[in-house]
């Protein structure tokens, strides 16, 4: 997107710290959107600063961008993220859900706790 088609619009991208989510953040930013980059981090334990790194990239594209690194599978954290968007961008026009985690790729090998974690994150984030 080279035109500023999304000038004045704001977006939230979950899983925006890397991969497809990061690419979407860059495209939104290059089209003029303000972006909240929501990502808990790249490591399996959730550590890392992927959201901050992706927000920096979005800012380099000329967008207003903010990182959000809490796990939004939690309703409280999701509400805080929406409040952040409302306070800084005065609204939310676009929501893209790219957040996902993977434990063992074979469902019959994982524990019930692993299953619950994957489902909660992938469906609620």
Angle at 92 between CA 16 and CA 88, to 5 degrees: 85
Pair 28, 63: CB distance under 8 Å: yes
Tokens describing residue 112: 């019930």
pLDDT digits (tens, 9 = 90+) for 67-93: 888 888 888 999 999 999 999 998 999
Enumerate domains of the chain plus CATH numbers. Answer: 10-124 (3.40.50.720)
What was the pLDDT predicted at 107? 66
pLDDT in tens, the chain (125 residues): 457 899 999 999 998 888 888 899 889 998 999 999 888 876 655 556 666 776 777 677 667 888 888 888 888 999 999 999 999 998 999 999 987 666 666 667 777 777 777 666 666 65
Q: Is the pTM of this model over 0.85?
A: no
Backbone angles phi, psi at 72, to 5 degrees: -80, 10
């Amino acid at each position: 997107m080279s035109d500023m088609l999304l000038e004045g619009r704001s977006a939230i991208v979950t899983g925006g710290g890397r991969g497809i989510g990061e690419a979407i953040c860059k495209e939104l930013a290059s089209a003029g959107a303000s972006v909240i980059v929501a990502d808990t981090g790249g490591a399996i334990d959730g550590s890392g600063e992927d959201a901050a790194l992706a927000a920096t990239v979005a800012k380099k594209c000329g967008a207003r961008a903010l990182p959000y690194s809490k796990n939004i599978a939690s309703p409280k954290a999701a509400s805080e993220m929406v409040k952040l968007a409302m306070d800084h961008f005065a609204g939310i026009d676009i929501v893209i859900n790219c957040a996902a985690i993977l434990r063992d790729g074979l469902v019959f090998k994982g524990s019930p706790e692993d299953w619950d974690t994957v489902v909660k994150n992938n469906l609620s984030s």
